Amino acid sequence: VPGSTIHDVARRAGVSIATVSRVQRGSAPVTDGTRRRVETAIAELRYRPSRLARGLAERRHGTVGIVFPDLSGPYFSAVIDGFESASDNDDRGVLILSTHGREAAADRVRDLAAAVDGLAIFGRTVPDETIAELRSSGLPVVLLARPAVASADAVRAENRTAAEAITAHLLDVHGHRRIAFLGDPDSSPDGAERWEGFVAAHRQRDVAEPAGPVRSSYREQEGYVAARAALDQPAARPTALLCANDEIALGAYAAAQEAGLRIGADVAVTGWDDIGLARHLSPPLTTVRQPMRELGALAARTLKERIAELSAGSGVAPLRRVLATRLVVRESCGCGLADRR
């Protein structure tokens, strides 16, 4: 019985559509007999209320959205996983959008915004003004891995201190004096903060200011190219490569091996994220672990709360949450060299 409506059910059960509505959402008392008749009709007709119609009447979509710059790679996948899991408990649909780095993103995001009760927005996918606009229309928005803006909530993972820590490790423990930063401070807020921490660690010590970043997107392929370029400086070849994420580090592994350099011994390499593969590499990758799944989950929970508040009508200050990250020392930095096979 394809696409039966509330009217079909009402007719079949010999009641009004109001009663059907009451039965199926339990919003008001209904006599046992009536309820049974309605339930039977619902079952027989396989009736499911139209989400569109219900949403229109209730003035809510029953969905939340999440916007990414890109969907590939373990990082985003972990965030989605966390976001979906947390939303799911709340029986909300999850709409997902990737801007694919396009410029026309703002428009698609506005489109998406018109289809959800709340929106999580990642990094630099849309300009600040779009976010402000969304907020001013009353839509709950939580920002991910991105500086706070307007009255939107913001959750992110700590970058600066961890970047200082990993740089310090290279500088102090292993005595490196020429470390190259592989990544792009301009492409993402995360990248910028990691770069800052990197520079700060140098300044806090009495060592030469580091050279500018060797630009690379977060992809392995570009990481490889950047690492080659960095390593191809006979005069001042860096002795360590601090990569802005693990995928870049992967590219660096390949480049180093090609150059006949042993990772850990001849050149140190570090990553960021601690994706699943990091500990399986040889040598295992020293990196910074960030709680990606938790990031997504927290965003979803925050959104849920805000949506609830909207009807409750309380006015809480925007959330600013920074999740802890932690240095994971393995062997690619040069630690535990003796253990290497």
Partner DNA sequence: TTGTAAGCGTTATCAA
Partner DNA sequence: TTGATAACGCTTACAA
- Which residues contact a copy of itself by CB under 8 A? 1-3, 46, 48-53, 55-56, 61-63, 71-74, 76-78, 80-81, 84-85, 88, 91, 93-98, 100, 108, 110-115, 133, 136-138, 220, 250, 253, 276-277, 280-282
User: Is the Cβ of residue 18 or residue 53 nearer to a copy of itself in the bound state?
Assistant: 53
Cα separation, 171 vs 261, whole angstroms: 20
Q: Which residues pair with 321 in a beta bridge?
A: 155
Are the CB atoms for 230 and 181 separated by under 8 Å?
Answer: no
Rounded to the nearest whole angstrom, what is the least distance from the CB of residue 82 to a copy of itself in the complex?
9
* Nearest C-alpha neighbor of 246 from the set 278, 293, 283: 278
6 binds, among a copy of itself, DNA, none (CB under 5 to 8 A by kind): DNA
Nearer to DNA (CB atom), residue 22 or residue 330? 22
The residues in 275-294 that bind DNA, with binding defined as CB under 7 A, are none
7 binds, among DNA, a copy of itself, none (CB under 5 to 8 A by kind): DNA
Phi, psi of 189 (to 5 degrees): -60, -40
Q: How far is the CB of 93 from a copy of itself (least distance, A)?
A: 5
Q: Count CB neighbours of 273 within 10 A.
A: 26
- Residue 49 or 336: which CB sits closer to DNA? 49
Q: Which of 297, 204, 192, 191 is nearest to 244 (CA)?
A: 191
Region binding DNA by CB under 7 A among candidate stretches 15-23, 63-71, 263-271, 273-281: 15-23
CA pair distance 299, 155, nearest whole angstrom: 7
Answer whether the bond into residue 213 is a cis peptide, omega within 30°.
no
8 Å CB contact between 91 and 306: no
Q: Residue 24 binds which one of a copy of itself, DNA, none, with CB within 5 to 8 A depending on kind? A: DNA
16 binds DNA, rule: CB under 7 A:
yes
Nearest residue (CB) to DNA, 7 versus 205: 7
Tell me whether residue 19 or residue 159 sits nearer to DNA (CB atom): 19
Contact between 93 and DNA by CB under 7 A: the answer reads no
Dihedral (CA of 147, 152, 158, 161) sign: positive
Q: Answer yes or no whether residue 24 interacts with DNA by CB under 7 A.
A: yes
Closer CB to DNA, 53 or 337, in the complex: 53
Asked if residue 238 lies in contact with residue 210, where contact means CB atoms within 8 angstroms, the answer is no
Among a copy of itself, DNA, none, what does residue 110 contact (CB within 5–8 Å per kind)? a copy of itself
Count of residues in the chain: 341
In the block, which residue shows the tokens 């699943």? Answer: 276
Beta strand pairing call for 63-68 and 93-98: parallel
Q: Are strands 118-122 and 93-98 parallel, antiparallel or unpaired?
A: unpaired
Strands 153-157 and 320-323: parallel
Nearer to DNA, 56 or 265 (CB): 56
Which residues lie near DNA (CB under 7 A)? 3, 5-7, 14-19, 21-22, 24-25, 27-31, 33-35, 47-50, 52-54, 56-59
